[in-house]
Structure 1
Amino acid sequence: MAKTAIIEAFGGPEQFKLVDRPVGDPGPGEIRIRHEALGLNFIDVYQRTGLYPNALPLALGMEAAGVVTEVGDGVAHLKAGDRAAYAAGPPGAYTEERVMPAAQVCPLPDAISFEEGAAMMLKGMTVVYLFERTVPLKAGDWVLFHAAAGGVGLIACQWARAKGIHLIGTAGSDEKCALAKEHGAEHVINYRSEDFEARVKEITDQRGVDVVMDSVGKDTFEGSLKCLRPLGTMISFGNASGPVPPFELGRLGALGSLKITRPTLFTHIAKHEDCQAMAQELFAMVTSGKVKIRVDQRFALDQVAEAHRALEARKTVGGTVLLP
Structure 2
Amino acid sequence: MAKRIQFRAHGGPEVLEYVDYQPAEPGPQQVRVSNKAIGLNFIDTYYRSGLYSPPSLPSGVGAEGAGVVEAVGSEVTRFKVGDRVAYGSGPLGAYSDVHVLPEANLVHLPDAISFEQAAGVMLKGLTVQYLLRQTYELKGGETILFHAAAGGVGSLACQWAKALGVKLIGTVSSAQKAALAKANGAWATIDYSHENVAQRVLELTDGKKVPVVYDGVGKDTWLTSLDSVAPRGLVVSFGNASGAVDGVNLGILAAKGSLYVTRPTLATYANNAENLQRMADELFEMIISGKLTVDISQRYPLAEAAKAQTELSARRTTGSVVLLP
Q: TM-score range by the shorter chain?
A: over 0.9
CA deviation after TM superposition for structure 1 residue 115, in Å? 0.7
- Deviation digits for residues 61-98 of structure 1, max 9, x if unmatched? 11101111111122222211111111111121111111
| TM-fit CA distance, 1:136 | 2.7
1:212 Cα offset (Å): 1.2
TM-score normalised by L of structure 1: 0.95
Query: 2:287 aligns to what?
Result: 286
Cα RMSD between the aligned structures? 1.6
1:110 match? 111
Aligned sequence identity (%): 51
Aligned residues: 324
- Distance (whole Å) between structure 1 residues aligned to residue 52 and residue 244 of structure 2: 11
Q: For 1:51 and 1:259, how far apart are their aligned partners in 2?
A: 29
Give the CA deviation at 1:130. Answer: 0.2
TM-score (norm. length: structure 2): 0.95
- State the shift of 1:137 in Å: 2.0
Q: Is the 8 A contact 1:7 1:56 kept in 2?
A: no
CA distance in 2 between counterparts of 1:246 and 1:322 reads 39
Aligned equivalents of 1:215 and 1:49: distance in 2? 21
**d(CA) in 1 for partners of 2:7 and 2:197?**
38
Segments of structure 1 that go 5 or more residues without pairing to the other structure are: none
The CA distance in 2 between the partners of 1:51 and 1:213, in whole Å, is 24
What SS is found at the alignment partner of 2:68?
A: strand
Deviation at 1:16, TM superposition (A): 1.8
Post-superposition CA distance 1:33-65 (Å, at most 9, x none): 111111112222332333332223121211101
Tell me by how many angstroms 1:109 deviates. Answer: 0.9
Write out per-residue CA displacement over residues 4-51 of structure 1, whole angstroms, 9 at most, x where no aligned residue.
222223333333222222102112111111111111122223323333
Q: Secondary structure at the match of 2:170?
A: strand
Which sits farther off after the overlay, 168-177 or 63-72?
168-177
Query: 2: distance between equivalents of 1:181 and 1:115?
Result: 25
* C-alpha separation in 2, matches of 1:212 and 1:288: 27
Residues 39, 98 of structure 1: CA spacing in aligned structure 2 closer, same or farther, 3 A cutoff?
same
CA distance in structure 1 between the aligned counterparts of 2:13 and 2:224, rounded to whole angstroms: 31
Kept in 2, the 8 Å contact 1:31–1:101? The answer is: yes
Q: Which digits, 9 at most, give the CA deviation of each residue in 1:108-155, with x for residues without a partner?
A: 111111110101111111011001111132112222111212221111
2:20 aligned partner: 20
Q: Which amino acid aligns with 1:210?
A: P
Report matched runs for 1:1-324 at 5 Å.
1-57=1-57, 58-324=59-325
Q: Name whichever of 1-10 and 258-267 sits farther off.
A: 1-10
